[in-house]
Every structure is written in C-alpha cells, then in structure tokens.
Amino acid sequence: MENRKEVFSWIKAILIAVILAFLIRTYIFAPIVVDGESMMPTLQDHERIVLTKFGTNIDNIDRFDIVVFHATVDKDYIKRVIGLPGDHIEYKDDTLYINGKAYEEPYLDKYKNQMAAGVPLTESFKLEDITGSMTVPEDQLFLMGDNRQNSLDSREIGTISVDEIVGKANLVYWPINEIKIVK
C-alpha cells in the first residue's frame, strides 16, 4: 500500500512538471535557433536565443526590438522593428528617418565600417515606394534585418501584422561564449 502511494506521488509530480513545462514554453518563453544571416552582426546563424512570448501586443513592442514572426505557414523570421503604426519610414544616404527625424543605428556600425567609401549599407527608399502607404498601417510593423544587404524583410514582403508576432528576442544562451542580452 505504501509503495502505491509513493508511485502515485511520483506520477503526480512528473505530470505537474510536464504540464508546467508545456505551459511555460507555449505561453511565456521558448528557445529558438537563429536560421540565416539576416540579423548579423547582432545575431549569428545557429545561435540559440530565448524568446519571450507574452507582451507581444502593439502596446508592448518598441522600436528597435528584435521580434520573431510567422512569415509563412512553415517558417518564422527574426527581424528588428523599425516602424510602428503611424510612422513614416525613409532611408536617405544610409540614414534612417522616422517621421522626418534621423535615428542612429549603432547595431549597424560594424557593417557600415566595412563598406567601400560611398557605398551605402542600406539603399535609399521611402515607405510609400514600397507599400503604397505614407505611414505604417494600424496594427502593422515595418521590420528589417540588420544585415541590410542580405535580408528578406518589409522592404520586400511589406508590413507585418502584430498578430503574426510570436515573441521578442531577449537572450542568446548558446554558444556559451556568446551569452548576451539581445539589443
């Protein structure tokens, strides 16, 4: 009889642990693997990161956050938030302008320094030339990869619905020697 109680206690503990792990992974945090070079130099191909899944509504997403979104039924992309709803986006002479104000992008400095003189990292464009709209629509985001010359992003696929956001990247945890907070 005592053995039965102990077995039942173990089964109950394991079942609770499995349910908690499922709930945490489904609704709070998830590990993902960076696939590709579109976020270099910020994130490297095959790095493993922790994704925060809660707080992915429009009120909790900030400009320059790095987010993962459903690009297709089978594929998720990881990109940086450049434009929020209502923003007018323009790149001119390798400088980002949001609503007419120039913004620094220090995460691009490494690649900009490698470019030949006079060659821009980010080609000039205006939001309206890409999407036909003067501003990022309500409940949409304009996303770009940090590796501007090798990134399939909002410049090609248009703005992304906030409903497609899976979560925000927070922490690189693998490889161990590259552990860092994602900025």
Beta bridge partners of 30: 51
* Residue 114: partners with Cβ closer than 8 Å, 6 or more residues away: none
Q: How far is it, in rounded angstroms, from Cα 102 to Cα 100?
A: 7
38 is catalytic: yes
**Catalytic site residue from 9, 12, 38, 126:** 38
The two tokens of residue 176 are: 């161990």
Pick the catalytic residue: 9, 12, 79, 92?
79
- Hey, what are 107's tokens? 């995460």
Task: Cis check for the bond before 41: say yes or no (omega within 30 of 0).
Answer: yes
- 154 is known as an active-site residue: no
Other beta carbons within 10 angstroms of residue 146's beta carbon come to 24
The answer to whether 89 and 105 have CB atoms below 8 angstroms apart is: no
Strand partners of residue 171 = 50, 181
Please check whether residue 39 is in contact with residue 146, taking contact to mean a CB–CB distance below 8 angstroms.
Answer: yes
The answer to whether residues 80 and 105 touch, using CB atoms and an 8 Å cutoff, is no
Catalytic residues: 38, 79
